[in-house]
């Protein structure tokens, strides 16, 4: 088991007030698996993913990475973990340094995580990264604001992959993108898993998106997992009202057209 | 049905000489009174500019705009600046907008209630304004409308802000509500609530809705007619059921295939549309979609296909899908 989370809690403190955004969740992630975490805004899914990336501390429970508790990590282990677990955010443009060209952003990551690489090797590694994210080499000389939303999101995937992670946490990577670009990013996520064997945690409010790429899914509500299991199972037989309401909210073309036809038929059947 | 809004041959151009670009070129469509019409396409296709042209809001106010528009039976002219009385007079009373980014379209230093009061009709009795504002907020389903009226936008969540901007849009009792990607920034549950609300309130007041979106899923459930826009022109238009159940234009088909479907086999590769929408100064000759089109033939690059009747819808394509089984590409 690559990552094993047991009863994890994350709390925000403001003065004496404590707000527990994640109230005890458990899941495990195998190598090469894709796990979807779905829920509405405010359900705690982003807080959980930030804690997994060590951007927030856990306030309870435990998370084991390759069998070791991450809260008991030594400095060196923390550094190694930070490299192995990379994150991609919803707002790609906002998560890139606006004053750095894409080349500089990628080189920075390589100089930290792969300091042994020479200039030539570094250039070929960058070419590889562009290739696996489907970007043209011309983007290297561009600033984030000069890129389209989809290009920028690919660049942030390339940046995350530069560290050669074993886990990639993608927090709503497609919700700000056009549908056609969204399809390309989702295909990219699937490709990363298949080609590089990377485990992916995909956080999203859109169940159709999660269903499309994930093996397992956890439905999060008010800081807890309402249900979890194989994606197929959860989507075919949702057990809780909350999951059903999330499913019903997906704007699905085929379902909407079917409902329209039924409605029209019912209207005609009435005298 | 009588048309509330009719637009014929709308063109919007920016810049002069070498710099001149035409991001909207020859757009015609109509919105019936109380009807629900969608404009669909990727970013950069000119959907928003088209909607802003109706009241000449910026940046269209500084553009060279050409074409004919009639609203409520009265012909108006697109020419003249932002202050030209013809179209500016439509703002508020005739046409209201709800935009994608609610916190950006609300004034951050003004309480919600005061902003909605501003949008009430000018002859609205002053002593009733407060009551009316709370009433409007309550109708959008906000749990505590009094508190929302006293709040600043930063105190509210994205979904709550969007409800407030909807309340503001409806305060003026418009004939046409233009909703420009009103739910793209919201999660699916809130998205459904806001769209249901638009639907419901529009029906109650007989307000027509023009929805601008890139998501065909939203269109399928709620709208009557759809106009698919690509590179500044309408490439396919017609009743929603006709267009979405059997799309004729390869672009419409591409947009449909890109949305993950709930009943598709899990792990099915999504079919994206290769490439991106080029910027307006680089729109190709002929059919603008041909470099990205799987069905393109040499003639597609030579001349632009006109919008013609095609099995219950209108489609601008030399090689449209005709609905037969041979089209399964």
CATH of the domain at A239: 3.40.50.300
Query: Which residues pair with residue B53 across a beta bridge?
Result: none
Tell me the average pLDDT of chain B. 87
The residue-averaged pLDDT of B283-297 equals 93
- Of B73, B77, B99, nearest to B88 by C-alpha is B77
Domain that holds residue A19: 3-269
Tell me the β-bridge partners of B280.
none
Q: Does position A110 have pLDDT exceeding 90, yes or no?
A: yes
Q: Which residue of B has its CA nearest to A194?
A: B267
pLDDT band at A76 (very low <50, low <70, confident <90, very high): very high
For residue B268, count other CB atoms closer than 10 A to its CB. 12
CB B69 within 8 A of CB B90: no
Number of domains in chain A: 1
pLDDT at B54: 87
Q: How far is A189 from chain B (nearest CA, A)?
A: 11
User: Is residue B328's pLDDT more than 60?
Assistant: no
Check if the beta carbon of residue B237 is closer than 8 Å to that of residue B227. yes
Comparing A125-139, B15-29, B72-86, B306-320, which segment has the lowest mean pLDDT?
B72-86
Q: The tokens 């009226």 sit on which residue?
A: B149
User: What angle in degrees, to the nearest 10, is found between the helix axes of A241-249 and B188-205?
Assistant: 60
CB contact under 8 A, A180 and B255: yes
Strand arrangement of the beta sheet that strand B21-32 belongs to: B21-32, B3-14, B64-71, B74-77
Q: Which residues of A touch B (CB under 8 A)?
A: 40-42, 148-150, 175-176, 178-184, 186-187, 190, 205-209, 211-213, 231-232, 235, 245-257, 259-261
Residue B288 confidence class, pLDDT cut points 50, 70, 90: very high
- Rounded Cα distance between B98 and B114, Å, is 18
How distant is the alpha carbon of residue A165 from its chain centre? Answer: 13
The chain A residue lying nearest B222, using CA atoms, is A256
Global pTM? Answer: 0.86
Identify which of A89, A76, A111, A69 has the alpha carbon closest to the alpha carbon of residue A201: A89
Residue range B21-37: average pLDDT?
94
Best residue in A146, A178, A184, A246 for a mutation probing chain B (most B CBs within 10 Å)? A178
Q: How many residues make up chain B in this entry?
A: 329
pLDDT of residue B323: 64
Give me the pLDDT at residue B86, please.
Answer: 63
Which among A40, A208, A257 has the least Cβ separation from residue B245?
A257
pLDDT surpassing 80 at residue B78? no
Q: In this model, does residue B188 exceed pLDDT 90?
A: no
Tokens coding B232: 């500044």
State ipTM.
0.81
CA distance B79 to chain A (A): 32
DSSP, collapsed to helix, strand or coil, labels residue A13 as strand
Pick B77 or B258 by higher pLDDT. Answer: B258
Chains A, B: CB contacts under 8 A, how many?
131
Contact at CB, A181 and B158, closer than 8 angstroms: no
The confidence score (pLDDT) of residue B325 equals: 43
Residues A213, B267: C-beta atoms closer than 8 Å: yes
Q: Residue B237: what pLDDT?
A: 97
């Amino acid at each position: 088991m690559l990552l094993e989370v047991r009863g994890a809690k994350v709390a925000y403190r403001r003065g004496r007030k404590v707000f527990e955004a994640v109230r005890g969740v458990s899941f495990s992630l195998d190598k090469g698996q894709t796990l979807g975490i779905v829920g509405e805004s405010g359900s705690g899914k982003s807080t959980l993913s930030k804690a997994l990336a060590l951007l927030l501390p856990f306030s309870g429970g435990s998370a084991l990475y390759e069998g070791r508790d991450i809260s008991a990590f030594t400095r060196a282990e923390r550094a190694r973990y930070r490299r192995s677990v990379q994150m991609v955010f919803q707002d790609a443009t906002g998560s890139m340094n606006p004053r750095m060209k894409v080349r500089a952003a990628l080189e920075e990551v390589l100089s930290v995580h792969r300091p042994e690489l020479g200039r030539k090797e570094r250039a070929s590694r960058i070419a590889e990264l562009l290739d696996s994210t489907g970007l043209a080499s011309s983007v290297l000389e561009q600033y984030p604001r000069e890129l389209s939303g989809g290009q920028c999101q690919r660049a942030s995937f390339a940046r995350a992959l530069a560290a050669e992670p074993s886990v990639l946490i993608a927090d709503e990577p497609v919700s700000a993108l056009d549908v056609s670009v969204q399809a390309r990013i989702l295909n990219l996520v699937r490709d990363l898993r298949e080609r590089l064997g990377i485990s992916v945690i995909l956080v999203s409010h859109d169940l159709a998106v999660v269903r499309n790429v994930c093996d397992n899914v956890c439905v999060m509500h008010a800081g807890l997992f309402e249900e979890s299991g194989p994606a197929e199972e959860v989507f075919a037989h949702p057990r809780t009202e909350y999951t059903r309401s999330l499913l019903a909210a997906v704007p699905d073309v085929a379902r909407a057209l079917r409902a329209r036809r039924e409605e029209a038929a019912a209207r005609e059947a009435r005298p | 049905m009588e048309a509330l809004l009719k637009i014929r041959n709308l063109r919007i151009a920016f810049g002069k000489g070498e710099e001149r670009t035409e991001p909207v070129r020859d757009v015609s469509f109509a919105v019936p009174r109380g009807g629900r019409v969608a404009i669909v396409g990727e970013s950069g296709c000119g959907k928003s500019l088209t909607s802003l042209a109706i009241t000449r809001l910026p940046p269209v106010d500084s553009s060279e705009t050409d074409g004919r528009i009639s609203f409520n039976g009265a012909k108006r002219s697109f020419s003249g600046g932002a202050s030209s009385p013809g179209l500016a007079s439509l703002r508020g009373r005739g046409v209201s907008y709800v935009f994608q980014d609610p916190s950006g379209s609300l004034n951050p230093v003004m309480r919600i209630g005061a902003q909605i009061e501003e949008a009430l009709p000018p002859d609205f009795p002053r002593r009733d304004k407060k009551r009316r504002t709370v009433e409007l907020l309550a109708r959008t389903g906000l749990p505590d409308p009094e508190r929302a009226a006293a709040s600043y936008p930063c105190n509210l969540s994205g979904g709550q802000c969007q409800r407030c901007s909807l309340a503001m849009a409806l305060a003026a009792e418009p004939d046409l509500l233009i909703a420009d990607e009103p739910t793209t920034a919201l999660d699916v549950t809130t998205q459904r609530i806001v769209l249901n609300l638009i639907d419901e309130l529009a029906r109650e007041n007989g307000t027509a809705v023009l929805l601008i979106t890139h998501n065909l899923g939203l269109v399928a459930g709620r709208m009557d007619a759809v106009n698919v826009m690509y590179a500044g022109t309408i490439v396919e238009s017609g009743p929603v059921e006709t267009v979405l159940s059997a799309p004729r234009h390869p672009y419409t088909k591409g947009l449909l295939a890109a949305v993950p479907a709930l009943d598709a086999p899990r792990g099915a590769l999504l079919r994206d549309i290769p490439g991106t929408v080029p910027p307006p100064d680089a729109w190709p000759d002929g059919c603008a979609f041909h470099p990205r089109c799987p069905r393109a033939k040499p003639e597609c690059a030579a001349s632009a296909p006109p919008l013609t009747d095609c099995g219950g819808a209108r489609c601008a394509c030399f090689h449209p899908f005709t609905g037969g089984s041979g089209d399964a590409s």
